[in-house]
Structure 1
Amino acid sequence: MVVKSAHDTHSTGTGKGTLFLWPDHWQVLGQLMPNRAHRHISASLLVGLDQPFRLQVDGQWRRTRAAVVAPDVPQALDPGSAAMWIAQLDPDSPLWRALVPLVADDRSADIVLSKEMQLPAGEAGCAEMKDYLSGLVKRVGHPPVALDDRVARVCESLRRDLPDKLDVSALAAGVGLSSSRLSHLFRQQTGVPLRRFLLHLKMNRALTFWEPGKPVSHVAAEAGFYDQPHLVRTAREMFDALPSEIIAKGWLRVCRCPSA
């Protein structure tokens, strides 16, 4: 994903958008270039701030002003000239859990934007962007769908320890389940397999470590990937781009936001 500023829509890739990073989600504000089909492990909330855009889900294109896509679902974006606001919500995030009823079994759904909704405009910081997102989810969402307590504990464990390798047996024993039962329950509750959830957490860590000029191999090691090619393959699958292509070339200004 390549981002230009929402206020510089006619530039040729030299403008700047903003990437806001939190522990359980991230947001992008700006004008995006088209991307090919990819699979975020997080859920996607996409809003055209000034006009509709084209969204592909499971190979089918549609035109929409705002939409939500469930975790681990193939999607592609053609924003045209629309200024975009996109939030990527972790599968265990309360924000996504409040949007789950909108999607049901359809894997994605359009959202109707009302005049009362406050959307990002101009310069915004972490606190403002978090408020914008919370306000939108509160207006269009439902009471959050609770995660099974055992799945929630596994998510907390993986976030806390971020292991190099996934030990399903140990995780399952810690919550009183068999390995097969935990794997099935986790996929059923979150929409993603355990191993892909751990990859997602590692990629989030890679984004927080990425700095202009920093070798990809160093970032891969710090984030817990096997090696540089492993990180590259994962980034291509999740984003259709490498963070180095997004951040290091200056297409995005990065704001690392506090969890509170």
Structure 2
Amino acid sequence: MFNTDLNQLYKNKLIIFDAKDHITFLTDKVDTHYHRHNYIQITIGVEKNFHITIEKDSIYTKGIILDSNTDHKLHGYNEWQLYLLINPESIFGETIKKNLLKENKVYMIKEEKINSIMELNIQLIAEITNSLEYNKFIKKLKETLGISNYNVEHTIDNRIQEVLNYIEDHPLDMLSVKELSNIVFLSESRLSHLFKEEIGISLTSYILHEKLEKAFYLIFNGSNITNASIEAGFSSSSHFTQTVRDKLGMPPRIITKNSRYLKV
């Protein structure tokens, strides 16, 4: 599709865009072990197909969407892929689940949609420097997937909204299910059940996601892994490293080496 050698075009081997409801990254260094995470994952081969093993089924494809909490491993073979990791509780995530996944774990992106995505000129992602440029790109991507005009009606329980607000406004290393349950006058078990019912993932998993996001934000802004791990609420850098391996399939040093990060 492209005549340009991406390895010559990109100084960075991983380009990350951290948005409010998803993370997008373009890279040629994904080669993961089996793992699962709470994100809905979109993977698109920029120039070539890739192998992905979902549970025990090996698939050779150029475009796929995985539901959250689906065991998988991906073999990138040093080829470039575009990834979106989308929070399932967001409107973006709920729209994908309602209109594309439809209770399935996997959605194969049709070839004509892949070709249309390629026409967005993914190479230009490397040149995005601000939120406005990125939002234009993501809008076109949603239009190509046919999900830009859908609205998902989901009124979150007031108590869960209060918990979400509290998590956003307070230090992550001080949070616990017990503390949050006291704030909304629910038992720990009732809050955990209600949170999963409303948001789609467990409360502990949600807090862990917030900790991971903060740790990477700190690392990409100059903090070392040890300090970022502790400030984000992990007990140690080894705890952070093991969590990243479990959730993303590779260690944090691989993710952060030769990478560029932009908060959008």
- TM-score greater than 0.5 by the shorter chain: yes
CA separation in 2, counterparts of 1:235 and 1:6?
30
Relative to structure 2, which stretch is displaced further, 190-199 or 81-90? Answer: 81-90
1:1-260 equivalences in 2 (<5 Å)? 7-8=6-7, 16-80=13-77, 82-101=79-98, 102-112=100-110, 113-114=112-113, 115-117=115-117, 118=120, 120-122=122-124, 123-125=126-128, 126-127=130-131, 128-138=133-143, 139-141=145-147, 142-144=150-152, 146=154, 148-150=156-158, 151-172=160-181, 174-175=183-184, 177-211=186-220, 214-247=223-256, 249-250=257-258, 252-255=259-262, 257-258=263-264
CA separation in 1, counterparts of 2:178 and 2:75?
42
Give the RMSD, CA atoms, in angstroms. Answer: 3.0
CA distance 1:120–1:144, change in 2 (3 Å): farther
> 2:261 aligns to what SS in structure 1?
strand
TM-score (structure 1 length as normaliser) = 0.80
CA contact (8 A) 1:232 1:242 kept: yes
Name the count of aligned residue pairs. 249
Relative to structure 2, which stretch is displaced further, 38-47 or 168-177? Answer: 168-177
Q: Deviations over 1:25-45 (max 9, x none)?
A: 221113233211122232211
**1:237 Cα deviation from its structure 2 partner:** 0.7
Of all paired residues, the percent bearing the same amino acid is 21
> 1:245 aligns to what SS in structure 2?
helix
CA separation in 1, counterparts of 2:212 and 2:5?
26
> 1:230 aligns to what SS in structure 2?
helix
CA contact (8 A) 1:99 1:137 kept: no
**1:214 Cα deviation from its structure 2 partner:** 4.6
CA separation in 1, counterparts of 2:254 and 2:63?
26
Q: What one-letter code is carried by the residue in structure 2 that aligns with 1:131? A: K
